[in-house]
């Protein structure tokens, strides 16, 4: 999987670069929202590093449960932690959903962070006005829960790989935001499976 929003990362980050070199199939995802330059850069990387790989183009349309609840609300967007820290993304599905569905504001959680969440923002100052889900142990999960509780938002957008409501208490209305892979054209993943 290669992300043209982070073109070049497929060459410079481990294990992504190793995976790209070894892959039989590379999916270029988010083609629908990435710049043409980003998509072209990823295609060049694939041609240079793994010219024999099959390339599948794909989009990632947003899935938002209860999208109508976002309009006019002050929202706290919780995104995948490693995507924001090590992955250097400045936004994710939660922020995109907030903007697309008319949120009044994406609330910056930094003034209300505690413990390990505050340490994460200190270590990665470029994160911006969204909350990285850094809940990999009991202490981080407690700090994430406390940060959510302290942040003055009307609605929490959970845009993480898992539904955080299953692992922490969220004391505000919350809705889930995710992506679904949508192949574009041919070859597609069915073609890729047939070729193996």
Same domain, 53 and 87: no
Please give the helix or strand (H or E) that residue 165 lies within, else none. Answer: none
Domain count, the chain: 2
| DSSP code string of 105-153 | EE---GGG--HHHHHHHHH-TT--SSEEE--SSHHHHHHHHHHHHHS--
Tell me: do 96 and 149 sit in the same domain.
yes
Q: Per the structure block, which two tokens stand in for 147?
A: 């940060």
Instruction: Judge if 23 and 87 occupy the same domain.
Output: no
User: What integer pLDDT is reported at residue 84 of this predicted model?
Assistant: 65
* 99 shares a domain with 47: no
Q: Which helix (H) or strand (E) segment is 27 a member of?
A: strand 25-28
| pLDDT on residue 2 | 93
Shared domain for 116 and 68, answered yes or no, is: yes
The two three-digit tokens of residue 64, written as one number: 């938002």
- The answer to whether the beta carbons of residues 145 and 27 sit under 8 Å apart is no
Residues 81 and 170 both lie in one domain: yes
How high is the pLDDT of residue 135? 67
Tell me the three state secondary structure of residue 109: coil
Q: Is 49 helix (H, G, I), strand (E, B) or coil?
A: helix
Same domain, 83 and 165: yes
Determine the Cα–Cα distance for residues 43 and 36; give it in Å rounded to an integer: 11
pTM above 0.75, yes or no: yes
Examine the domain organization and report whether 45 and 118 are in the same domain: no
Q: List the one residue out of 105, 136, 104 whose CA is nearest residue 120.
A: 136
Q: 3-class DSSP state for residue 64? A: strand
Question: Do 26 and 101 fall within a single domain?
Answer: no
Burial status of residue 34 (CB atoms within 10 A of its CB: 0-12, 13-18, 19 or more): buried
Residue numbers of the domain that contains 133: 64-179
Residues 78 and 175 in one domain: yes
pLDDT value at residue 87: 60
Which pLDDT tens digits describe the chain residue by residue (196 residues)?
998 988 998 999 888 899 999 999 999 999 988 899 999 999 999 999 999 999 999 999 999 999 999 999 999 999 986 666 666 666 788 998 999 999 999 999 999 999 999 999 999 888 888 998 886 789 999 999 999 999 999 999 999 989 999 999 999 999 999 988 999 999 999 999 998 7
If 0-12 CB within 10 Å is exposed, 13-18 middle and 19+ buried, where does residue 87 land?
middle
Helix (H) or strand (E) holding 67: none
Q: In this structure, is the dihedral angle defined by the CA atoms of residues 105, 110, 114 and 119, taken in order, positive or negative?
A: positive
Cβ neighbours around 139 below 10 Å, total: 11
């Amino acid at each position: 999987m290669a992300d043209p929003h982070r073109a070049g990362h497929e060459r410079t980050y481990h294990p992504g670069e190793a995976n790209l070199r070894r892959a039989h199939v590379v999916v270029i995802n988010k083609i629908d929202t990435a710049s043409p330059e980003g998509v072209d850069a990823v295609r060049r990387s694939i041609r240079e590093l793994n010219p024999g790989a099959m390339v599948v183009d794909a989009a990632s349309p947003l899935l938002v449960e209860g999208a109508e609840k976002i309009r006019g609300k002050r929202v706290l967007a919780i995104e995948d932690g490693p995507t924001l820290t090590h992955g250097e993304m400045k936004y994710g599905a939660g922020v995109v959903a907030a903007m697309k569905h008319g949120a009044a504001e994406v609330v910056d959680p930094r003034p209300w962070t505690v413990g390990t969440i505050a340490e994460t923002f200190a270590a990665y100052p470029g994160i911006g006005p969204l909350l990285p889900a850094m809940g990999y142990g009991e202490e981080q999960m407690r700090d994430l829960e406390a940060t959510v509780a302290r942040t003055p938002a009307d609605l929490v957008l959970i845009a993480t790989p898992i539904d955080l409501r299953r692992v922490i208490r969220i004391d505000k209305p919350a809705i889930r935001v995710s992506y679904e892979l949508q192949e574009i054209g041919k070859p597609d993943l069915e073609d890729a499976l047939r070729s193996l």
